[in-house]
Structure 1
Amino acid sequence: MNKWVFNVEAAHVGLRADVFVAQLLTETTRSQIKKWFDAKQVLIEGEPIKPSYAVRFDDELTVFSTDEVIRIDPVNLNLEIVYEDDDVAVVYKPQGMVVHPAVSFKEVTLVNGLKHQIKTLSDINGTLRPGIVHRIDKDTSGLLLVAKTNFAHESLVIQLQDKTVRRVYEAICLNPIVEDSGTITTPVGRDEVNRLKMAVTENGKLAVTHFRVLKRYKRHSFIECVLETGRTHQIRVHMQYIGHPILGDPLYGHKPIYGTTGQFLHAKTLGFIHPRTGEYLEFTHEAPEVFKETLDKLEHDQL
C-alpha cells in the first residue's frame, strides 16, 4: 500500500479536500482521486473525509492507495551533494530527472538517489517523498533543499510559508524584455482545459515573481527570477503570461520547441535559515553546460 501524508499550509486553507489532493499529486487523475475518497482512503486524524471537506490550517491529511505498491529502492545516481549536516542537505538536481515517484511515474527518481547517499530522511511527506520539502520540474536544473529529520522538515516548511527561503533562478526567454526589472503578481492555478498545465486564472493562488534582465540579445533575454511564492510552474507560466516564454519549454513555449533538454531554467541560488543553529546559509550552483553553450550561441547571434 502506498501512503502520502500532507500538512495543510496557509495558502491551501479553505480548499476542497479533493482539490487539495489534486494540487499536490499533480500526476494523478481526478477519477483516481475520486476512487480514493469513495473507498474512504483519504483521512484526517484517522477519520475518512468527504471530497467537499474544506481543509484547515495544519490539518494532517493522509492518502492511502491500494494500487500497485511503488518500491523506492536505493539507486546510485552519483548525486552532487552541495552541503550536508545532521539535519539538512542541499542537492543539485540535473536536467531530466524527476524529483519523486508518483502513481503515474514509477521510474528512477531523485529520491532513489537520495536513499542511496543519505541514510536518514524525514518521513513527514510519506513513503513516496522522503526528505522532500519542495521540488523543481523534471527539466529544470538546480538546487533542492532536503530535510533529513522531521524537526528540520517542519522548520523549512514554515520558512517556505513565510517566504523567507531565498530562491533565485536564471532563465533564457524569448524576445528582448524592455524593462530592466519588474514584478509579476497574478494568480496561478490548474488550467481548466489542459490539466497537465498551469495558467493565470482567477481561481488560482497568488503568485509573485520578481525578474531582472541580465542581458538582452537580438531575439532573446537572459534573466534572473526571484520567487516570492512557489506555485507549480510559476516562472514558466508568468513569463509566458507577459509574452516572454522560457526557451525550450515544451508546455508553455513557442512551437517548434528549441533543443532537446526542455526549458532553459536553472535554480541557481538557495538560501535558508538553518533549523537548528539559526544561521543563514546560502548556496549557488552554475547552470549546466547546455545552458552555457546556448548563451554563447546567442552572444554570436547564432540562434
Structure 2
Amino acid sequence: MGRVTARRPVVRVGHGAVTSRPDTLAVEEPLEVRVGGRAFAVTMRTPGNDVELAHGFLVGEGVVRRADDVLAARYCAGTDDTGANTYNVLDVALAPHVPPPSASLERTTYTTSSCGVCGKASLEAVRVATPYDIAADPVRVDAAVLAGLPDELRRAQQAFDRTGGVHAAGLFTPDGRLLCAREDVGRHNAVDKVVGWALLQGRLPLQGHVLQVSGRASFELAQKAALAGIPVLSAVSAPSSLAVDLAEEVGMTLAGFVRGGTFNVYSGAQRIVAPDNAEPLPAR
C-alpha cells in the first residue's frame, strides 16, 4: 500500500544559521474511484484507509446508505515506472438493488485536497438531500465535553505529529469517547474515511454522534455529516455561511472556533448543555 509519509531534504534558515537536514512530509497521491468499472471521480488524498474513503465518498454523494449497498471494493491494476502496483485506482461494485450514480454526480475534474465538491457536473448536484431526520435527533452534549474534543482528536493525530501537514476528523459519542479518527491531506477525505468506517461497521445513520474536524467547517463537510445522519458538527476553525445555512436547514448543531475552552454555536444550540451557573443556550 502507499506510504502515509515521505522524507525529503530541506535547507533550514533561521537564527543566523543555515543547515541541511531531512524533513518528513505528508504523502499526497491521486485516488481514482470507479463505480462498476466506470471512472467516477479522482481525489487527491493521503494513502491509507482507501476502502473507507471510497465508501464514505459514495455516502456523501448520496449513492449508498448501507454496507450491503456495496458488493466489493478492489484495487485495479495500475503500475509505476518500476512495475509496482500504485494502489491508486479503486473499483467499487454496487449491489444489484443500488442504481448506478447519475451522470450529474460525476466529477468532470479531479478533486483537490482542498476541495470536496470540485468538478461536479451540475450546480444541482452540489446539494444532495439527506434521507435522515436530523432535526428530530434528541442528543445533548455537555459544553465542557464539546470544548475538549479538539484536544482528544489531536492526541490521535499520529501523522500530524510527524508532518504537521494533515487534517483530521473524529467521531465521538456524546460523552466524549472517541470511536474513530482518520487523517488526510484533504479535510473532506478525512471525513469520508470516518463515514466509510461507520458504514462498514453498520453504524449509519450516525444518530447521537458528534463529528469533530481539525479545520474549518465548509459546506461540503456539513453536507457529508448530514448525509451520514450526524446531528452535531464541531470545527476548530470557522464555518462558512453556506455551511451554517445547510445546518439550519436540516436541523444540525454546528459549532465553530472550538478551541481554548470556548466555541461559537451557529445552529442547533438547544443540543448544548450549558456550564453550571450559566444561562441556558438560546435555540437557534
TM-score between the two structures when normalised by the length of structure 2: 0.28
Which has the larger share of helix? 2
TM-score between the two structures when normalised by the length of structure 1: 0.27
Q: Which has the higher contact order (CA 8 A, sep 6+)?
A: 2
